[in-house]
Structures are given as structure tokens and as C-alpha cells.
Amino acid sequence: MNCREVQELLPAFIDAALEPEATIGVRTHLNACHICRQEESLLSSTWSALGALPSIQPSPEFRARFWERVRREEDESNKWWAVFLPKQLIPVAAGFLVIWTLGVAGGLFLFKGRASASKPLELAVSVFASPFPPNSIEQIYLQGTSDHSQNVRRQNS
Ligand SMILES: [Zn+2]
């Protein structure tokens, strides 16, 4: 047996997994060759160091917690809106809904105020909320139409 053959067989030799014939061959070579003996001692010390490591055991609750979490994730994804909305987008969608509702409500309020600005407060609100600057032709026109509708109403009553 030459050095290369012996070193290939060393792991199995240390593991005592070699045929008796090969074991004797390796042992004979090791007695004669100090390079392979060094290799053998290095390998076997690494081997025993690995064996000395405690094997990792998951804590008893780990398995229960793991499955509990899997079940919860499944419940989440079974909700009806999950079909339309991925879970990460739900806060975004909720935010949009709130802003949209506020916008529509505010728009309706301002539109109503401008269309029938007959009380001073409503008139002030309509001027304040108008997109046109005060005393601009558009603003005067808007005020004029509401004054006019007031006059018409007054004439009718
Ligand atoms: Zn050798």
C-alpha cells in the first residue's frame, strides 16, 4: 500500500469500517510511515472533537409553536379579502379608503356651500374655499350668481 491509498482509506479505518485485510494493510503502513501516522492522528482527533459536540435538540415547545404559527398563517390567508389584496397592501388600501372618504365628504360639503351660499357664514366659507382669488372676475361672478339666486328667491316669495 502506498501513502495515497492509505490516506484515502484513513476515514474508513478510523471508523473501523474497513475489511480486516485492508485494516491490516493500513496498520502496517502506519507503523512504517510517520507522515501517514500524523495524518491518521489529525483525522482521528478531528473525528472525536466532532463526536464530542452535543447534538442539537429542539425545545419541546418548538414543534408545537411551529405548527401553531403555520396554522395562524393559513387562517390569515383564508380570509376573503386576501383573494383581492395581498396581506402587505392592506394598510395601504385602508389609508387610501380613509383619504378618499374624507375627500368626497369635504368636496360635497364645499360644493353644497358654494351652490347655496345664502347665509353670511356660508358665503364666507364659499369665498374661503373658492379656488379663485378674492375680487377676481370668477369670484365676483360666483358671488353674483348666488346674489342673483337670492334675489330671485326673494322676488318669488
Ligand atoms: Zn504513508
pLDDT tens digits along 24-71 = 999 999 999 999 999 999 988 887 887 777 777 777 788 888 888 888
Q: Which three cell numbers stand for residue 92?
A: 395601504
pLDDT of residue 145 exceeding 70, the answer is no
Residue 121 inside a domain? The answer is yes
pLDDT at 7: 92
Do 41 and 94 share a domain, yes or no? no
Do 98 and 153 share a domain, yes or no? yes
pLDDT of residue 153 exceeding 60, the answer is no
Q: What is the distance in A from the centroid of ligand 1 to the CA of 11?
A: 14
Q: What is the distance in A from the centroid of ligand 1 to the CA of 49?
A: 24
Do 37 and 94 share a domain, yes or no? no
Domain interval for residue 122 = 90-157
Integer-rounded Cα Rg, in Å, for the chain is 44
Across the range 7-22, mean pLDDT stands at 91
**Residue 78: band (very low, low, confident or very high) from pLDDT cuts 50, 70, 90:** low
Residue 66 inside a domain? The answer is no
Residue 53 inside a domain? The answer is no
Q: Which of 10-19, 41-50, 115-124, 129-138 has the lowest mean pLDDT?
A: 115-124
Listing DSSP states for 63-78 in one string gives HHHHHHHHHHHHHHHH
Residue 103 inside a domain? The answer is yes
Residue 127 inside a domain? The answer is yes
List the one residue out of 39, 5, 36, 38 whose CA is nearest residue 22: 5
Number of domains in the chain: 2
Mean pLDDT in the chain? 79
Given a contact cutoff of 8 angstroms between Cβ atoms, the answer to whether 97 and 113 are in contact is: no
pLDDT of residue 132 exceeding 70, the answer is yes
Residue 80 inside a domain? The answer is no
Q: What is the distance in A from the centroid of ligand 1 to the CA of 36?
A: 4
Given a contact cutoff of 8 angstroms between Cβ atoms, the answer to whether 146 and 117 are in contact is: yes
Residue 98 inside a domain? The answer is yes
Q: What is the distance in A from the centroid of ligand 1 to the CA of 124?
A: 104
Beta-carbon contacts of residue 85 (< 8 Å; ≥ 6 apart): 93
Residue 76 inside a domain? The answer is no
Q: What is the distance in A from the centroid of ligand 1 to the CA of 33?
A: 5
Do 96 and 155 share a domain, yes or no? yes
Q: What is the distance in A from the centroid of ligand 1 to the CA of 51?
A: 26
pLDDT at 133: 74
pLDDT at 69: 86
Q: What are phi and psi of 59, to 5 degrees?
A: -65, 155
